[in-house]
Structure 1
Amino acid sequence: SLAVLRVSWNQLESLPEELGRLHQLQHLLAEGNQLAALPASACQLANLQQLVLSANPLRELPDQLGECAALRVVALRATEVERIPYSLCAAHKLTVLKLEGNPQLVSPPPEVVEGGLDAVITHLMQLRIAGERSRRHSSHSAHMEEHRARQAEQAAADQQKTAAELGQKLEQLKSD
């Protein structure tokens, strides 16, 4: 069972989706390649402790990255990452997060990154809470819209029934 995968400085453009099958993998060292993304299957690496992806044109990270419960070190120096997924705040063993040299990084913003790991984790937690509130609100709004649509359909059906009944009564009055 593979514990360390060292593929640094090999001009790799991608990592295979099968990466997630390396259940015993503890260290993924892939700096200095041409990686634009990390496969989503990497989030299944429950024993992953160290993730080094520095010096890659990496643009995004899987949203579930924080599901790697054993994660202690994440190095993302000199990448093109714009956003750190807020799930990373769930990686409770995380002690090192290297984000220097990422000019495209907007979340967390540079001033938060300068505050260190605790500031970044706090920022990500706030984003997660805001996201959950937004989803609950969206879900509630969608439910209310659906309810209003059903009410409108029922009102239209009631109006048609009433119009039909009135039409019948008018016909009866005409024939009398």
Structure 2
Amino acid sequence: MTSTPDFLWGLPEVQKLNLSRNQLVVIPPSLGKLDRLVVLNLGGNCLKSLPKEIGLLRNLRVLFINMNCLTEVPAELSLCRKLEVLSLSHNRISQLPLSFTDLTSLRKLNLSNNSFVQIPLCIFALRSLDFLHLGSNRLENLAESIQYLVNLQIFIAENNNIRSLPRSLCYITTLELLNVDYNAIQTLPDDLYLLHRLRRIAWNPMDKGLHIAHNPLTRPLPEVVEGGLDVLFNYLREKKQHN
């Protein structure tokens, strides 16, 4: 189907709604009537926009809009203050509304496979985030403000154009998985050893640890990385002491 059946909008008691993979081209403003929705899945459709009435879903906690054709997200989405999980991956988005700073309950945010050239400023205000996926965008750097994400446990920025990691990243000591595979990183910050929850140099995408493969690391870093995380951290610690 390419449009939603009208009877749907007359079911205000609905708490979970899965409309994924239906070739939907538009979601009508009537969506706002389903104000008890907790989980909404719109993934895998052909949506180019979302109705501003999505902001009426004040009980929404989980929202999937991945694999669509969105170029922007309505500012009204920030009225969904209970939102905890949001996936916007595989769209054409290059920026987010500043009002997203209001999504203070957000814990998991997937922005992978979009057109971001830099991390949207609003993200640095989302202090509850424990998962952030920015892989397969066009990022060239990570802002120093990344350190404000004090609860971040999983940070994925693989397959970008990142040239260096900011020292401030090393202060997010909650990190258990840091994936910067397939970038343009040549050096690593001396303070990287502060990330004591990274347990290993990881090669499997599912494993926790530090993912640093497929970067043009300058010597002797490639050989040091081959020795494992303890060897790398000791090298960086000693390097800092000598500087």
Sort the TM-score into its range (normalised by shorter chain): 0.5 to 0.7
Listed as ranges, the gaps of 5+ residues in structure 1 are: 120-176
Q: Which residue of 1 aligns with 2:74?
A: 62
Tell me the CA shift for residue 118 of structure 1. 2.8
Q: CA deviation at 1:21?
A: 1.0
Runs of 4+ in 1 over 6 A off after TM superposition: none
Distance in 2 separating the partners of 1:85 and 1:27: 22
1:82 paired with 2:113, answer: no
Secondary structure of the residue that 2:78 maps to in structure 1? helix
Amino acid at match of 1:52: F
Q: Which has the higher contact order (CA 8 A, sep 6+)?
A: 1
Post-superposition shift, 1:56? Answer: 0.2
Native 8 Å contact 1:31 1:53 kept in 2: yes
**What TM-score comes out, normalization by structure 2 length?**
0.45
Structure 2: runs of 5 or more not aligned: 1-12, 121-137, 151-243
The residue identity in structure 1 corresponding to 2:103 is A
Distance in structure 2 (CA, Å) of the matches to 1:49 and 1:82: 24
The 5-angstrom pairing of residues 4-153 of structure 1 reads: 4-103=16-115, 108=120, 110=139, 111-112=141-142, 118=149
**Per-residue deviation at 1:3?**
0.5
What CA RMSD, in Å, does the superposition of the two structures yield over aligned residues? Answer: 2.3
Distance 1:2 1:112 in 2: 40
Helix, strand or coil at the partner of 1:28: strand
Query: Who wins on radius of gyration, i.e. which is larger?
Result: 1
Shift of 1:60: 1.4
Size of the aligned set, in residue pairs, is 118
1:72 deviates by 0.3
Give the TM-score, by structure 1 length: 0.61
Residue identity (%): 31
